[in-house]
Amino acid sequence: MKKTAFLFPGQGSQSVGMGLDLYKEYDFVRELFDMAEDITKMHLSKLCFKGPMEDLTMTVNLQPAVTAVNIAYLAAVQKEGIKYDITAGHSLGEFSALCGSGVVSVKDVFNLVLKRGALMHRESTKHKGAMHAIIGLSIDDVNELVKEVQAEGIVAVANHNTASQIVTTGSPAQVEKVSLLASSKGARAIPLRVSGAWHSELIKGAEHEFKEFLETVSFNVPEKPVIHNVTADSEINPEEIKSVVAKQFCNPVRWYDSMRRLMDEKVEIFAEIGPGKVLTGLLKKILPEDYPCRIYNINSMKTLESFLEEFV
């Protein structure tokens, strides 16, 4: 059996209507949404299926909403008995990966992302922030530019997505300055539509509080390895997993390194479980052309059925 990794998307993958066809098809998905709405006290089905996009994109709403859709597709795949070996999730998606690996329960994953979203929203209202995607420079190049500007204010690398796609985060003026320097070196800089400077010191005020909240949640030994954003590595000890997850707040998402780690693990089947195609797009830029693998999106009934046809 070929080694299989399930990948879970995060913020930026949302769209109005996500998960609706699955919700219509399965009783257990409707029950999952009912449970999530009871925990979060949000009308998540309305947010996911009808929007509006402006409300859905608010981080306090979006984190439980995307997680609900991720877990719904995961439940549909698990119901068919599909086996997988390892999980990873991009930023917010790491919490779905923790659930998919048995580290946290379905109930607790919603408690975690609800708290995380509320804390991040709170900090973003206190500290105006920005994030830009820089296309065309290496991580070392971008780190050098960030160092040049850091003396003037808060700026950092948020995501190392591919070899040449790096996201910066921090105070708007400093993020803009790094982008101007990057542009002068021939790179493209694209402002992202976000409400805060995620993975930066500007949301540091929430990190300790989230760490304390993690202590109220039961973490289990993983049934399957989880590749963590902060370390691009797996961890067995539940207390260490809590520590690594808490550090995600103000540290970069090492997605490029995480996917290279999956290559080292000889993963040959990659399935993005949840809305959109962001992670699939990144993966195709990361994996060498001659790397033997198959890549799947599971983001609709049609793609789910196509996936199941090959594996059931």
CA distance 312 to 303: 14
Q: How far is CA 28 from CA 35, 84, 200, 232, in A?
A: 10, 21, 38, 33
**174 near 149, Cβ under 8 Å?**
yes
Active-site entry in 13, 45, 91, 101: 91
Q: Do 90 and 279 form a contact (C-beta atoms < 8 A)?
A: yes
Which residue(s) pair with 8 in the sheet? 89
Give the pairing type, strands 188-191 and 294-298. Answer: unpaired
- C-beta separation of 179 from 173 below 8 A: no
Token pair listed for 224? 């399957």
CA distance 88 to 107: 19
Among 270, 222, 275, residue whose Cα is nearest residue 73: 275
CA 88 to chain centre: 9
Residue owning tokens 């993966």: 283
Work out the end-to-end distance of the chain between its first and last CA atoms, rounded to an integer number of angstroms: 13
| Active-site hit among 132, 199, 228, 258 | 199
CA distance 273 to 296: 9
Catalytic residue at 199? yes
| 200 is annotated as an active-site residue | no
- Whole-number Å distance between alpha carbons of 297 and 307: 8
Q: Give CA–CA dist 19/35, Å, rounded.
A: 16
**CA–CA separation, 311 vs 83, rounded Å?**
9
Helix 93-100, helix 59-79: angle, nearest 10: 30
Token pair of 31 as six digits: 């029950």
Q: Catalytic residue positions?
A: 91, 199
